[in-house]
Amino acid sequence: MEIEYFLETLDREGRLLAAAAEEAGVDAKVATCPGWQVRDLVRHTGMVHRWATAFVAEGYTSYHPDGGLPDLDGDELMDWFRQGHRRLVDTLTGASPDVECWSFLPAPSPLAFWARRQAHETTVHRVDAESALGGEPTPVVADFAVDGIDELLRGFHARSRSKVRVEEPRVLRVRATDTGAVWTVRLSTQPPVSGRDEGGDADCELAGPAARIYLALWNRMPFPGATGDASLAALWREKSGITWS
């Protein structure tokens, strides 16, 4: 996917997030993030937006800590969120394609990394904001969901920080039934190794439309379909969470 596509997605998803958060109200509970209210979600996402902006705008070439959560609420919090989201979109849009800065997953360039990562970050949290309203979330485009599954499996969970591990080798298959995309995830005592292929027999298969698989792998909804060893689906639920630290 092109950087421009990710930027368009980031722009749209941030605006949808703000609209849903405003409609739900900052006191509303976020169904997909137990223990959070909308204000927690908005503070977190706005902080991440500013953190990401700083790497590109300031050209930090090594890890730089975030600026912390704001002591804001209500309308002031929503204004702060919208300002930070706008600056992120504008910074990435105006950045040189060969900008040099820190990133933490493989990508064609730092700019490609940050555009992709923030598009997915904002989309998942937009779903969180809409969960505070109840009902079905705004649909995620299937091809974008496939890219997000790829980022999660072959990016985040390829890192040494992944806790999705088993004592004896097992194979987990992930299948997007509407696009035909398939991943084989090889589990062991080491970080998972994921490939875009059928990869032989699997101990468990998670299958369904790409958008639902995407959100299920991010633990935002149940798996639409799981066959084989249910303990591997349960392992994913228990160990796969990506936390801020």
Instruction: For Cα atoms 120, 191, 243, give the angle at the middle one, nearest 5 degrees.
Output: 40
In this structure, which topology does domain 145-239 adopt according to CATH? Nonspecific Lipid-transfer Protein; Chain A (3.30.1050)
Rounded to the nearest integer, the mean pLDDT of the chain is: 97
Instruction: Determine contact, residues 214/145, Cβ cutoff 8 Å.
Output: yes
What distance in Å separates the CA atoms of residue 30 and residue 93, rounded to the nearest whole number?
A: 31
In this structure, which topology does domain 3-131 adopt according to CATH? Four Helix Bundle (Hemerythrin (Met), subunit A) (1.20.120)
The pLDDT, as a whole number, for residue 244 is: 84
Mean pLDDT for the stretch of residues 97-106: 97
The pLDDT, as a whole number, for residue 209 is: 98
- Please, what's the b/e burial string for 151-175 (b: 16 or more CB within 10 A of its CB; e: otherwise)? bbbbbbbbeeebebebeeebbbbbb
Q: What is the pLDDT of residues 3-40, one digit of tens each?
A: 999 999 999 999 999 999 999 999 999 999 999 999 99
Q: What is the pLDDT of residues 177-222, one digit of tens each?
A: 999 999 999 999 999 999 999 888 999 999 999 999 999 999 999 9
The pLDDT, as a whole number, for residue 168 is: 97
The pLDDT, as a whole number, for residue 198 is: 87
SS3 158: helix
What distance in Å separates the CA atoms of residue 113 and residue 50, rounded to the nearest whole number?
A: 16
Say what percent of the chain tops pLDDT 90.
96
What distance in Å separates the CA atoms of residue 227 and residue 86, rounded to the nearest whole number?
A: 43
Q: What is the pLDDT of residues 110-165, one digit of tens each?
A: 999 999 999 999 999 999 999 999 989 999 999 999 999 999 999 999 999 999 99
Q: Which of 55, 57, 23, 64 is nearest to 42 (CA)?
A: 23
pLDDT at residue 176 tops 80: yes
For residue 53, the surrounding DSSP H or E stretch is: helix 38-58
Which pTM does this prediction carry? 0.97
pLDDT at residue 245 tops 80: no
Per-domain residue ranges for the chain? 3-131, 145-239
What distance in Å separates the CA atoms of residue 62 and residue 154, rounded to the nearest whole number?
A: 22
